[in-house]
Chains A and B, each alone.
Chain A
Amino acid sequence: MDRGQLFFSAATGTSIMAAGAALAVSSTFGWSLFWVGAAITALTLASVTLQSPRRKSAYLLARIPVRQNKRS
């Protein structure tokens, strides 16, 4: 996933969370919309974490065989 998709997902998730919270506070609708937004935001954050360059680097480094230092 590229940055545009992640930004769209994060923006949608947080906007729905905010709208859901406002609706729950101002009416008898409940918190279901808030939790839908929270789920989208959490999924986006999980995707960002899994795709982070640091995590990728750690994964790739772990696959490189460690060389033994040779004494001259």
Chain B
Amino acid sequence: MQLDIVVAFFVLGIIARVVKSDLELPKSLYQSLTIFLLVAIGLKGGVALSEHASLQLVPQSLAVLALGLILPLVAFPLLARVGRFDNADAASIAAHYGSVSVGTYAVAVAVLEARGIAYEVYFPLFVVLLEMPAIAVGIALARNRGHKFHWPKLLHEMFCNQGIVLMTGSLLIGYWAGARTETIIPLFGDLFHGVLALFLLQMGIVAADRIADIRMTAPFLSAFGVLMPLLGAACGALLGLQVGFSVGGATLLAVLGASASYIAVPAVMRNALPQANHGVAIAASLGITFPFNVLVGIPLYLLGVEWLSHIV
């Protein structure tokens, strides 16, 4: 299996910090990269939605949204009670693990295509859908535990933060414009992996900066970073088969359930929970869960879905 080239840039970011290089992406560039990625993901889902819109999508979308709501609620108690993380950190990590990784999704698609396994082509829609509920649940968990519960402010943060506005807006624009998005696809489609590589370079620097925090809880985070994707994949596989996805589609939903975000959620949670240590979440997501999913998880989830499809 071929590894995603963008991961190499994450490693480069870590190495740069280990050798004490002065490599640093300007803050404004990092913010621009974040905006680009959020728009690109949203547009891709919107275009897919315009091409494959049908009533069948409603129960499937609801199932995906339910998965996005359940996963952070499973992760949060583990992190807060067993892992002894404070509420902001636990909520941030839970949001990362409830959301999805586009890189892991891309690898899963490549594996399915290499093995000739069919899947639902409108799946990018679910990638976009699954980004959102975990962010909302993560913010709600942190605010509910740490501060007084102000509904108007909370709802505003849930639905009007940069990540949600950009992704939802781009999804709607992609759906409305459909094939007309061809005029902007050279920017948002073709450059996606290059921009993702630069984004991951910065993420590698951030993760290496916070490596001291991970050392303290390395056994716990490594166990959590492997257990959580296994639980997420099991939920995704069962849910996918129940709502009528093919074996390929259920495998992709298992992969989405197993993956942890490193694009949209870090960007949103940095703004929503500035007091949280997001380096731990990114390091666990990119350093443990992402390699596990790519090297071991995806073939395992495919095997599991094939096995479950005979039973369910």
Contact = CB atoms under 8 A, between A and B. Distances in A.
Centre residue among A5, A13, A16, A29 by max chain B CB count within 10 A: A5
Interface in B73-94: 78, 81-84
A47 B81 CA distance: 20
Given A4-B81, A9-B223, A13-B223, 18 more contacts: A1-B220, A2-B84, A4-B82, A4-B84, A5-B84, A8-B224, A9-B222, A12-B223, A12-B227, A27-B303, A32-B296, A36-B226, A36-B292, A39-B222, A40-B222, A40-B223, A43-B219, A44-B223
A68 B245 CA distance: 79
A33 interface: yes
A43 B222 CA distance: 9
A4 to B, nearest CB: 5
B226 A1 contact: no
Contacts of B295: 32
Given A12-B226, A16-B226, A32-B295, A5 B220 contact: yes
Contacts of A21: none
Nearest to A8: B82
Main secondary structure of the interface of A (DSSP, over half): helix
B78, B216, B217, B300: which has the most chain A beta carbons within 10 Å? B300
B292 A9 contact: no
B205 to A, nearest CB: 24
A72 to B, nearest CB: 49
A1 B227 contact: no
Interface in A14-72: 16, 23, 27, 29, 32-33, 36, 39-40, 43-44, 47
A8 B296 contact: no
Interface of A: 1-2, 4-6, 8-9, 12-13, 16, 23, 27, 29, 32-33, 36, 39-40, 43-44, 47
8 contacts: A4-B82, A5-B220, A8-B220, A8-B223, A9-B220, A13-B223, A16-B227, A36-B292
A29 B299 contact: yes
B84 A40 contact: no
Contacts of A9: 219-220, 222-223
Interface residues of B, number: 22
Contacts of B84: 2, 4-5
A40 B78 CA distance: 17
B218 interface: yes
B111 to A, nearest CB: 14
B82 A5 contact: yes
Contact of A5 (B219, B226, B299, B300): B219
Residue among A6, A16, A36, A44 with max Cβ neighbours from chain B (10 Å)? A36
Given A5-B84, A32-B295, A47 B226 contact: no
Contacts of A32: 295-296
A4 B219 CA distance: 11
Residue from A2, A9, A16, A29 with most neighbouring chain B CB atoms (10 Å): A9
A32 B300 CA distance: 10
Contacts of A6: 219-220
Interface string B210-222: 0000001111101
Contacts of A36: 226, 292, 296
A40 B82 CA distance: 16
B218 A43 contact: yes
